[in-house]
Amino acid sequence: MNKLDIDRINAEIENVEKVISVIEKYSNREDLSELELAGLATYIHNFYNGVENIIKQILKSKSVTFKDSPSWHRDLLLSASENNIISEEFYEVLLKFLSFRHFFVHSYSFILDYKELKSLIDFMPDIWNSFKSQIDL
């Protein structure tokens, strides 16, 4: 992997760690307003986008391509698993965040449920640490 690829990945890592920091700051409050809940959901979405961006950069550095299709997000994760960037188990975990991403992008914020968001947030730091240990920089 060249220096530019590593720099891009490190920038994404820094951004995701900022996202996690903000999430940890606000996620233990159960009295969130609708706007705060929507903001928290945005940060979860940002977390997943950062992970995807890192995976895309790693695949690109390995000259792995995939088709631009309606299922490209899932295909990206599958390609990362098939190319040993992430484990098969981790692929399954990331599918949960991909499902949330789809819900978030295609629904209304007033439908958000704190308990469902919290279920993603509670294991996000462990997921992040596992992801960082799996990527090869």
Mean predicted confidence (pLDDT) in 112-128: 92
Q: Are 22 and 74 in contact (CB under 8 A)?
A: no
Rg, Å, the chain Cα set: 15
Q: Are 132 and 50 in contact (CB under 8 A)?
A: no
The CA distance from 1 to 99, in Å, is: 30
pLDDT digits (tens, 9 = 90+) for 12-65: 999 999 999 999 988 888 788 999 999 999 999 999 999 999 999 999 999 998
Domain ranges (residues) in the chain: 3-134
3-state helix, strand, coil in the chain (%, to 5): 75, 0, 25
What is the pLDDT, as a whole number, of residue 136? 67
Fold of the CATH domain 3-134: Four Helix Bundle (Hemerythrin (Met), subunit A) (1.20.120)
Query: If you search the block for the tokens 């995976």, which residue do you land on?
Result: 55
The CA distance from 37 to 13, in Å, is: 24
Biggest alpha carbon–alpha carbon distance for the chain: 47
